[in-house]
Chains A and B, each alone.
Chain A
Amino acid sequence: MKIIVTAKRVPDPEIKIKVKGDGTGIESHDISYKLNPFDEIAIEEAVRIKENAGGEVILLSIGPGDAQTEIRTGLAMGADRAIQIATDEYVEPSVAARIFKKVVDDESPDLVLMGKQAVDDDANQAGQMLACMLDWPQACFASEIKIEDGRATVKREVDKGIETIEVSIPAVITADLRLNEPRYPSLPMIMKAKKKKIDTISFSDIGIDTTERVKYLGLENPPERAGECKLFETVDELIGALKDEAGIIR
């Protein structure tokens, strides 16, 4: 089975992001980057499917051409090669989906696995858009994937619980938190990953319409929560405040 998996580089989600004074972006010094955690889960799943059934895992990443550390991480997890679309600019989901479609048309995989969202823009759109553009079925927010006889049975994490759907393959599946626990690459895998091939294509050479449908005008800091935290020594005092001051409990 040939699988394309997205591998986006995002600012480390554990670090507090600061907006630049002029609102044109985020402060980039002191930022470290990571592989999008949901893409990491998608890569782990793709590698497990390959380990079971054979095939090839290809990473697909849109991001700065000189930043390949995160792609190497995915390769060290067991992906075979990578395609990088190089750009320093923010690419909105509808453009990303069109780029992914172009690569899927060229590579003809059986499956596209993606993180359910990238934890930088938190849009949660690209996988669904890609499925629609390809006229493939989608199974989003997967917590379990079983592949058999040209079909994938997917458990989806939805608001009400767990929903199971069955999709024909090829399909686009997006990974949620509980799909698996991504492996830490071993040193030999990391060494091996250094020799794996990354094809870098410049954004302007991609050869499709990359007109944005959404235009970001600026960033600002979110409003701060007013007031200090009142600390109490005893449960009685706390309950008293919730009753008499906040008026929340009776």
Chain B
Amino acid sequence: MSNILVVAEHYNGKLKSSTFSSITFARQAGDVHIAVIGSNISDTADALKSYGAARIYKIDKPELEQYLAYEYSIAVTELAKSIDAEMVAMSTSTTAKDLMPVVATRLEAGMASDIIEYTDGKFKRSMYAGNAVATLEITTPKKVVSVLDTAFAKAEPADGESPIEDFQVDIPAGKAKWVAMEESASDRPELKEAEIIVSGGRGFKGPENLHLIESLADKLNAAIGWSRAAVDAGWATNDLQVGQTGKIVAPEMYVAIGISGAIQHQAGMKNSKVIVAINKDEEAPIFSLADYGMVADLFEVLPRMTEKIPDQS
């Protein structure tokens, strides 16, 4: 079997659960090897020990404390070469989007973004805002993929314990310098991790009405997402945008409120398990996706929902 190198994603040492989706993909494709890159990441590597990887490689250096494309791409590429990995995989995220094309270029590998299926050496991925599913082959000996986490179940622990090895590599300094990170402050569950997401759109009319969605989200212990129209209007930051060019999510329940359901929004949420739509326009395309809905004015319905839904936290 060929070696598949999964690049684990963590934020300040805390693993992102989407990493386990890329492990599921890698199990289908060959022998799983995992790279953990950063500074002081022993615990992060330990947390991956029981997932059946042939080996876990730690690239633990002070200069890798902050992610930068050049430095990380050298770390991944050198490791991939050293273990003769046929494929490098990372679950889709802004880091994977930034990093994987660079890794592919260094390895002279073809790359497929956001794959949703892998069978007999062929990949599937969505195009045209999810209106078409393409089947493709990567024709180079080495292959690089980003794995759409919502399309692969999270890997369960396996038997045995994976050995952890320090991988030594010289990282020359690149031409980019990390300066600062402004985290979006929120006590809410993260969009990509939440079981329930409530999302708002143009129907909210203005920033003065956003508290309505916040109260409902509090009650449901839900993450809040926004349509592109709401982000464009400046009501929310882009990291909360659900859609083709924002985040792609698939929670247990997605509640779309005042969202018409433009094609590019659907691309970001149509694989949610249960979809609930509240919109006063009964012709809104969101109803063609929804399982449950109300054709109603959100300003009347939302306060009542918030009042009547039992606290889920």
Number of A interface residues at 8 Å Cβ cutoff, please give it.
83
Cross-chain contact A212 with B139 (CB below 8 angstroms): yes
Report the Cα distance A40→B303, complex, angstroms: 40
Does A100 belong to the interface (CB within 8 Å)?
A: no
Cross-chain contact A161 with B305 (CB below 8 angstroms): no
Name B175's contact: one of A11, A167, A220 (CB within 8 Å).
A167
* Nearest A-chain residue to B311, judged by Cβ: A250
* Nearest A-chain residue to B146, judged by Cβ: A124
State the total of A-B contacts with C-beta under 8 angstroms: 260
Cross-chain contact B11 with A160 (CB below 8 angstroms): yes
Report the Cα distance A136→B69, complex, angstroms: 11
Report the Cα distance A136→B231, complex, angstroms: 31
Cross-chain contact A167 with B176 (CB below 8 angstroms): yes
Does A17 belong to the interface (CB within 8 Å)?
A: yes
Known: A164-B179, A213-B111, A249-B310. A17 touches B291 (CB 8 A): no
* Nearest A-chain residue to B181, judged by Cβ: A163
Q: Which residues of B contact A220 (CB under 8 A)?
A: 132-133, 135
Q: Which residues of A contact B139 (CB under 8 A)?
A: 212-215
Interface string of B104-140 (1 = CB under 8 A from A): 1110111111100000001000111111111111111
Cross-chain contact B136 with A225 (CB below 8 angstroms): no
Cross-chain contact A161 with B309 (CB below 8 angstroms): no
Cross-chain contact A122 with B114 (CB below 8 angstroms): yes
Does B94 belong to the interface (CB within 8 Å)?
A: yes
* Nearest A-chain residue to B247, judged by Cβ: A159
Interface string of B238-281 (1 = CB under 8 A from A): 11010011010000110000000011100000100011110000
Does B312 belong to the interface (CB within 8 Å)?
A: yes
Chain A at the B interface: mostly helix, strand, loop or mixed?
A: mixed
Does A5 belong to the interface (CB within 8 Å)?
A: no
Does B196 belong to the interface (CB within 8 Å)?
A: yes
Number of B interface residues at 8 Å Cβ cutoff, please give it.
90
Name B128's contact: one of A11, A38, A212, A238 (CB within 8 Å).
A11
**What is the distance, in angstroms, from A169's C-beta to the closest C-beta of chain B?**
9
Q: Which residues of B contact A193 (CB under 8 A)?
A: none
**Residues of chain B in range 199-228 having any CB-CB distance to chain A below 8 Å:** 220, 228
Cross-chain contact A132 with B294 (CB below 8 angstroms): no
* Nearest B-chain residue to A163, judged by Cβ: B181
Chain B at the A interface: mostly helix, strand, loop or mixed?
A: mixed
Name B292's contact: one of A19, A131, A156, A238 (CB within 8 Å).
A238
**What is the distance, in angstroms, from B41's C-beta to the closest C-beta of chain A?**
17
Binds A, one of B27-35, B43-51, B95-103, B163-171: B95-103
Cross-chain contact B294 with A159 (CB below 8 angstroms): no
Report the Cα distance A212→B139, complex, angstroms: 8
Report the Cα distance A164→B66, complex, angstroms: 11
Known: A138-B98, A220-B133. A229 touches B292 (CB 8 A): yes
Cross-chain contact A230 with B181 (CB below 8 angstroms): no
Query: Residues of B at under 8 Å CB distance from A?
Result: 11, 68-70, 73, 93-95, 97-102, 104-106, 108-114, 122, 126-140, 174-184, 192, 196, 220, 228, 231-232, 237-239, 241, 244-245, 247, 252-253, 262-264, 270, 274-277, 287-295, 301, 304-305, 308-310, 312
Q: 10 A-B contacts, Cβ less than 8 Å apart?
A: A26-B128, A126-B101, A131-B69, A136-B175, A137-B69, A138-B98, A165-B68, A219-B127, A222-B132, A229-B289
Apart from A119-B244, A119-B264, A167-B177, 19 more pairs, CB < 8 Å: A13-B129, A120-B127, A120-B128, A122-B126, A122-B127, A128-B99, A128-B105, A132-B102, A141-B98, A160-B181, A167-B176, A212-B110, A214-B110, A214-B138, A225-B289, A229-B287, A238-B276, A238-B305, A242-B292
Query: Residues of A at under 8 Å CB distance from B?
Result: 11, 13-19, 26, 38, 92-94, 97, 116-117, 119-129, 131-133, 136-141, 143, 153, 156-168, 171, 176-178, 212-222, 225, 227, 229-233, 235-236, 238-239, 241-242, 246, 248-250
Across the A-B interface, the 7 shortest Cβ-Cβ residue pairs: A213-B110, A128-B101, A137-B175, A125-B101, A132-B105, A17-B131, A17-B128
